[in-house]
């Protein structure tokens, strides 16, 4: 499936990232949430969660990270720098 369910179920950790992007395995499993304005169809906010961003070498536990963005009226905010 396009939502990376297969990657999560397989649980592969041995996939090497290409140019900083994981083409498969756990690191490619993402949670995407978005909302849009029903009148215009324009996106209003979005969140991307990477639950398997990196593994702590000492505890072997996965560490996640997330990114978010809001665009409503004149407001434009994001967790990423331009």
Q: Which of 79, 25, 74, 15 is nearest to 47 (CA)?
A: 79
Tell me which DSSP letter residue 24 carries. S
**Hey, CA dihedral for 26, 15, 64, 2, is it positive or negative?**
negative
Tell me whether residue 14 is annotated as binding.
no
Pick out the residues of the known binding site for Mg(2+).
Answer: 3
């Amino acid at each position: 499936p396009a939502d990376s369910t297969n990657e999560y179920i397989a649980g592969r950790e041995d996939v090497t990232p290409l140019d900083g992007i994981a083409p498969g395995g756990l690191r490619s499993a993402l949670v995407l949430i978005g909302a849009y304005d029903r009148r215009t169809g324009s996106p209003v906010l979005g969140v991307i969660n990477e639950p398997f961003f990196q593994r702590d070498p000492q505890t072997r536990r996965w560490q996640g990270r997330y990114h978010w963005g809001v665009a409503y009226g004149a407001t434009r905010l994001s967790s990423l720098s331009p």
